[in-house]
A and B are shown apart, each in its own frame.
Chain A
Amino acid sequence: MRIAIASGKGGAGKTTVSASLAQVWNTPAILVDADVEAPNLHLFCAPAITSSTSTFLEVPILDATACTQCGTCREVCRFMAFAKLGKTISLFPEMCHGCGGCIALCPEKALAPGQRLLGTLECGTAMGGKHAFLMGRSRIGEAMTPPQLRALQKKLELLLAQSKTTAQPYTDALIDAPPGVSCPAMTVAQEADIILLVVEPTPFGIHDFTLAHRAFLPLQKPIAVVMNRAGIPGNAGDMELAAYCQQQGLPILGLLPFSQEIAGHYAQGGIAATCSSTWEKHFTHLRDTLQAFAAKELANA
């Protein structure tokens, strides 16, 4: 089961929930950090990285001696990777989205496949060897996030498939998803089996959560909610969020209370589930309700 832990708003507690669920998860899992622009899961779950590989996007290389300046590539490309400058065609590989159209259609075969560095994928184990670990990290200055996420997802599928033949296969993937509701978040959500939305019941949090819910709804995936920072004094947002979830038929699988203690614990690099036995219970409860929700949804599917 692939569980994407997502949130519309950044800072709602995605990584806190991901790391804590990993801490209390009772079967071997793969922890995946898919927030490749700002990956943080590794800061909490002490991974032992065993392999690191670079990821690339296939972009064209221009052989200027073979180019006849016919302009086919410039017409095919919708992303400004080719420009006609004076009499010659110039290539700007940073603009390329990797569609491969120019390479396939160049009548002179003057374009060959090359590579642009997207970022890295790091694999290993986490939490003292209890879980496998996979994280993606995008290169500074790289504008395109989805290709890096697709490379990460391919690697995840490979790890899941490989683990099936081992004595202790990974039952689940706990995926820390990118924030927001546009391409990066969607790329991750659409490959998940279950989406768990972490929501902070503040005006910003509820607003961004409803955007995320609307974005994920067409994917027809089971969606559930965990309310983080519940019970902020004077905040009517808890009730508002509960009412919305009830109206939309979204189960609230857990309530994590607002606590200054937990903010301090997090600031020291601590996992919320290890803060105290009360906090551990919050997450074992969330784990149990999440597993029950997933079992029910998958049985219905």
Chain B
Amino acid sequence: MPEIVVLSGKGGTGKTSLTAAFAHLMHNGIVCDLDVDAPDLHILLAPQVQQEHAFISGVEARIAREHCTYCGRCEVMCRFEAIHQQGNNLAVNPLRCEGCGVCHVVCPSNAISLTQKHCGQWYESSSRFGPMVHAQLFPGEENSGRLVSVLKQQARETAKKNALDLILCDGSPGIGCPVISSLSGAHLAVLVVEPTPSGQHDFLRVADLCDHFHIPASIIINKADLNLAIAAAIENLCTERGYAVAGKLPFNMDITTAMIAKQAITETASPLGAMVVDAWENILIQLKNGARKRTLPL
């Protein structure tokens, strides 16, 4: 089952707007919003939630005052500065607690328990573009990498059960834990880059990450006319590294107008729509050709 992940490094490059358009153009696939921290795809796809699940992950330490002897061993051992004096008591700062459980192990009076954390919700839904899985991490919660894995797993199961032939994922910005989880098992990364100093810089970092994990990359230069010199430099880099450029799209407010109307750009009359269609076709060709051969040379 081919999996495409749309990434950008830098936020605001048009990643989610383009993913929505690809979801519209895809015939028999499932959409997966892996930007679990700040998901936006549902705003354009307006999914109907069919099943809702709690996301339970990791643990958090709690100190039972009645058993605590204030020996302070937990405070000394905690590497995350999550345990501190609060009046006459020792307390855990849940925002700092890493859930490593060292305090629980070293407490001589068994006063520290580890409780599982309910970190968010995730959903199996249907949308006008087909089935969708998405989530919302509770604000300020962690373990987004694991939630990404849960969503991908569900997407694979749903895809298999319904004989779908593509998994399309919207990833999160940056290059940290949720992005690394998003790339796990992906066949193609679509990198949406804008030709600005920031966009180019962050694109390089996410491209390095794809190389690090040996995931083939396909590039869309969005707002390509904003800086022609940087756009050309990005194209050169793609040639050097062997990334295919799937499309070059001009700066066009229609993307924002479509977002405000809660539509994919390909659902509007914008001339940009046809260019996105071409880019999507290129991506599908690259998926076919570029994805590593997964069979034995027998």
Residues of A whose CB lies within 8 Å of any CB of B are: 8-12, 15, 37-40, 43-44, 58, 76, 78-79, 97-101, 104-105, 138, 140-145, 178-184, 186, 190, 200, 202-204, 207-208, 211-212, 214-216, 218-219, 232-237, 260, 263-264, 266-269
Contact = CB atoms under 8 A, between A and B. Distances in A.
A190 B99 contact: no
Say what secondary structure dominates the interface of chain A: loop
B16 interface: yes
A181 B144 CA distance: 11
Contacts of B262: 203
| B13, B96, B197, B230 — most chain A CB neighbours (10 Å) | B197
Interface in B1-60: 8-13, 16, 37-38, 40, 43-44, 59
Say what secondary structure dominates the interface of chain B: loop
A204 B226 contact: no
B175 interface: yes
Contacts of A269: 196-197
A93 to B, nearest CB: 15
Top 6 closest pairs, chain A to chain B, by CB: A11-B12, A10-B11, A215-B139, A99-B100, A37-B174, A267-B226
B153 interface: no
A81 B10 CA distance: 31
Given A180-B173, A269-B196, 8 more contacts: A37-B176, A38-B174, A38-B201, A101-B105, A140-B209, A141-B213, A178-B174, A267-B227
B237 interface: no
Contacts of B142: 182-183
A100 B105 CA distance: 12
Nearest to B93: A190
B59 A204 contact: no
A232 B256 contact: yes
B202 interface: yes
A138 B175 contact: yes
B176 A144 contact: yes
A98 B201 contact: no
A208 B198 CA distance: 21
Contact of A204 (B16, B106, B251): B16
B209 A141 contact: yes
Contact of A181 (B38, B173, B253): B38
Contacts of A144: 176-177
Given A38-B202, A178-B174, A140 B212 contact: yes
A6 B177 CA distance: 20
B196 to A, nearest CB: 4
